[in-house]
């Protein structure tokens, strides 16, 4: 239908309607149309800030994409609504608006130099060699429809919010020791159980079911025996790497780029450094005298500070990585030399340089090929923007995908695939490894007009994909998979037999039955578990989580049964003893508990502060507009 409308847009009838529409604008007043009568209601108002429909829709889309990367591309908007993700997205927008206005009220500021440093240091803006890459910044801005000013503004707001949050939570006191001790005892309590494993394979193999039983089993387990949803896709990828080889790069461009990035072609001097820090100058001088007298530096540190040789190493460092007080003296030392005592806010340092790696730089000639490739990619990325617009215009004019790509030297791909990227025969299809492509391919309705979309790969690439046909899941005919269904039925029957045996054994154990005799009758062996905690994180992998939970609900003698973690049988167990938390404290676990409690207290502080901000900057949410925005 949209294609018909696009084709019809060029007709004289359509042009006549457009003239009437423009005339109606003249009657109403274009200014009132733009500014007044047709203004969209905000999704939310936070003080003086309005959350627009576009902001809300973009936030939901980005959150869905992030979740898709974790759970798979089939996660869609309807699932996001059911899980409350859309509400979370809106709440986050409201919180950002609150913190932005609070930061402004408090007069917090972030200098431009700090924002520039944030950009330079961001991993997302570094290339494969770890160096800052301006092309990555440009691609990021293009992918997110940002200007440089908008990017700086966005980072400034993020940094201001972080500054305010850090100030609010920096002084959170550690949790009381009594609370930490109680949680520690709860988590570290261990239990030991006797258990047997009853395997499905030990049950007798049943005879084949009759046709009626098999047909019912096949129908009752439709999801188990259905083919997955598949889609007929047509797609193409527009990648700068595919077009860079045809781009012309001049020597002048290469030289200008080399000059603008000269620092990135210079590798600073690096030194492998050891240090020992003393409380007083006198202690440091005495240690230096020992080193001057011929005692090895590591031996001096061991004798004076009880330090091991491994405690001395600062590793391989550049001058900028050292504290300012010691950087210059360290880089004036010869290899193997021990410094005189150097004072810093941390104390008095003795430093030894064990190795020196001189600075080096790459000449223009050495870096020319790399720069040429980089500039060719940049030119290709710029050209693809124009090409993408050209394709989009053709599609808007009613062209098919094939017609829109005609003459552009692009490969058109076709395949029928499921959400795992497999074709109907189960073979893996070489789909683009792009999350946005996967999302578009498996969420777009059948027959929708395709669009040229940013790939999200950060390299300036685009893609176009059309869902030609959706083949819904369907129950595979019993005649085609009869052997598979028979095998599944037999497997289920054996599992039911073993489940009954395990439950009966647990019931007899609860009544005081002899575990060894019961196990012997079942041709199984009683085993003693390793001590396990409530979490049972690899403490005793043979006990399934459900069984562990039941054993922690009772005292010695408690018995239970549950499906094995490997899903190949059942485990019946009886609790033998309870081991209180060891008096030897696990310092790492205590630290984890302390940090977790501190995090909870920080959340409470933030919640209280948020309530104060909401009183200062009232929040109003338009639920009708929010529902209509998605």
- DSSP letter for each residue of 236-298: EEE-HHHHGGG----HHHHHHHHHHTGGGGEEPPEEEEEEEEESSHHHHHHHHHHHHTT--HH
Q: What is the pLDDT of residues 250-263, one digit of tens each?
A: 999 999 988 888 87
How much is the pLDDT for 70? 65
Quickly state the pLDDT bin for 141 (edges 50, 70, 90): confident
CA distance 528 to 516: 12
How much is the pLDDT for 31? 35
CA distance 97 to 614: 10
Cβ-contact 502, 570 below 8 angstroms? yes
How much is the pLDDT for 289? 95
Residue 594 has pLDDT above 70, yes or no: yes
Mean pLDDT over residues 101-125, rounded? Answer: 87
Of the two residues 347 and 550, the one the predictor is more confident about is 550
Report how far Cα 348 is from the mean position of its chain's Cα atoms. Answer: 43
Residue 584 has pLDDT above 90, yes or no: no
Of the two residues 576 and 599, the one the predictor is more confident about is 576
CA distance 472 to 222: 13
pTM, two decimals, is: 0.52
Least confident of 17-21, 366-370, 416-420, 474-478: 17-21
Residue 12 has pLDDT above 50, yes or no: no
Backbone angles phi, psi at 321, to 5 degrees: -90, -10
Quickly state the pLDDT bin for 17 (edges 50, 70, 90): very low
Cβ-contact 314, 330 below 8 angstroms? no
Backbone angles phi, psi at 412, to 5 degrees: -100, 125
3-state SS class at 604:
helix
CA distance 512 to 526: 16
Q: What is the pLDDT of residues 556-569, one digit of tens each?
A: 999 999 999 899 99
Q: Given its phi and psi angles, is residue 384 left (phi above 0), alpha (psi -120 to 50 degrees) or beta?
A: alpha
CA distance 295 to 315: 22
Residue with tokens 């520039």: 116
Mean pLDDT over residues 540-556, rounded? Answer: 93
Of the two residues 599 and 290, the one the predictor is more confident about is 290
Give the DSSP letter string of 35-59.
HTTTPPPPSEEETTEEE-HHHHHHH
Mean pLDDT over residues 382-391, rounded? Answer: 91
Quickly state the pLDDT bin for 7 (edges 50, 70, 90): very low
Q: What is the pLDDT of residues 506-526, one digit of tens each?
A: 999 999 999 999 999 999 999
pLDDT above 70 covers what percent of the chain? 91
Mean pLDDT over residues 298-303, rounded? Answer: 92
Hey, what are 324's tokens? Answer: 């300012």
For residue 274, the cross-strand partners are 313, 352
How much is the pLDDT for 25? 36
Cβ-contact 506, 572 below 8 angstroms? yes
**Count of CB atoms situated within 10 Å of the CB of 200:** 20
Residue 340 has pLDDT above 50, yes or no: yes
Q: What is the pLDDT of residues 250-300, one digit of tens each?
A: 999 999 988 888 877 888 899 999 999 998 999 999 999 999 999 999 999
Q: What is the pLDDT of residues 480-513, one digit of tens each?
A: 999 999 999 999 999 999 999 999 999 999 999 9
Cβ-contact 342, 348 below 8 angstroms? yes
How much is the pLDDT for 60? 87
CA distance 95 to 610: 8
CA distance 98 to 618: 9
């Amino acid at each position: 239908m949209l294609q018909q409308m696009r084709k019809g847009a060029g007709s004289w009838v359509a042009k006549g309607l457009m003239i009437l529409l423009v005339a109606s604008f003249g009657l109403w007043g274009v200014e009132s149309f733009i500014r007044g009568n047709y203004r969209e209601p905000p999704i939310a108002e936070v003080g003086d800030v309005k959350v627009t429909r576009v902001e809300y829709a973009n936030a939901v889309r980005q959150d869905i994409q992030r979740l898709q990367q974790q759970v798979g591309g089939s996660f869609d908007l309807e699932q996001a609504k059911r899980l409350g993700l859309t509400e979370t997205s809106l709440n986050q927008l409201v919180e950002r608006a609150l913190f932005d206005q609070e930061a402004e009220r408090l007069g917090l500021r972030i200098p431009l130099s700090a924002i520039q440093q944030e950009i330079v240091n961001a991993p997302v803006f570094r290339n494969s060699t770890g160096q800052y890459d301006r092309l990555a910044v440009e691609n990021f801005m293009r992918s997110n429809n940002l200007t440089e000013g908008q990017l700086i503004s966005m980072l400034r707001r993020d940094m201001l919010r972080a500054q305010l949050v850090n100030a609010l939570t920096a002084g959170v006191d550690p949790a009381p020791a009594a609370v930490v001790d109680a949680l520690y005892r709860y988590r570290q309590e261990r239990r030991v159980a006797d258990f047997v494993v009853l395997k499905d394979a030990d049950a007798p193999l049943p005879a084949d079911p009759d046709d009626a039983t098999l047909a019912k089993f096949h129908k009752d387990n439709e999801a188990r025996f259905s083919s997955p949803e598949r889609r007929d896709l047509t797609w193409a990828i527009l990648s700068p790497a595919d077009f860079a080889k045809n781009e012309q790069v001049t020597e002048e461009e290469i030289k200008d780029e080399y000059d603008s990035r000269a620092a990135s072609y210079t590798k600073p001097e690096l030194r492998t450094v050891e240090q020992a820090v003393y409380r007083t100058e006198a202690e440091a001088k005495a240690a230096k005298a020992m080193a001057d007298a011929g005692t090895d530096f590591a031996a001096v540190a061991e004798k004076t500070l009880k330090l091991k040789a491994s405690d001395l190493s600062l590793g391989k460092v550049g001058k900028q990585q050292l504290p300012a007080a010691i950087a210059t003296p360290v880089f004036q030392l010869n290899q193997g030399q021990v410094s005189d005592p150097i004072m810093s806010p941390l104390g008095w340092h003795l430093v030894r340089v064990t190795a020196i790696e001189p600075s080096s730089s790459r000449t223009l000639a050495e870096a020319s090929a790399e720069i040429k490739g980089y500039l060719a990619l940049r030119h290709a990325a710029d050209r693809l923007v124009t090409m993408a617009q050209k394709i989009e215009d053709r599609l808007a004019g009613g062209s098919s995908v094939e017609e829109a790509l005609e003459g552009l030297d692009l490969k058109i791909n076709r395949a029928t695939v499921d959400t795992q990227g497999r074709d109907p025969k189960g073979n893996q299809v070489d789909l683009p490894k792009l999350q946005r492509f996967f999302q578009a391919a498996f969420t777009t309705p059948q027959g929708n007009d395709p669009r040229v979309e940013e790939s999200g790969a950060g390299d300036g690439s685009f893609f176009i994909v059309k869902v030609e046909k959706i083949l819904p899941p369907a129950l595979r005919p019993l005649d085609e998979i009869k052997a598979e269904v028979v095998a599944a039925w037999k497997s289920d029957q054996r599992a039911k037999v073993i489940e009954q045996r395990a439950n009966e054994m647990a019931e007899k154990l609860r009544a005081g039955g002899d575990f060894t005799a019961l196990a012997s009758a079942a041709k199984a062996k009683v085993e003693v578990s390793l001590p396990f905690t409530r979490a049972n994180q690899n403490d005793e992998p043979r006990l399934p989580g459900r069984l562990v939970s039941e054993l922690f609900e009772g005292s010695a003698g408690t018995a239970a049964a549950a499906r094995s973690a490997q899903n190949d049988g059942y485990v019946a167990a009886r609790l033998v003893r309870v081991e209180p938390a060891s008096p030897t404290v696990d310092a790492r676990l205590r630290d984890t508990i302390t940090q977790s409690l501190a995090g909870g207290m920080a959340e409470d502080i933030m919640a209280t502060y948020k309530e104060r901000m909401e009183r200062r900057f009232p929040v109003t949410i338009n639920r009708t507009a929010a529902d209509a925005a998605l």
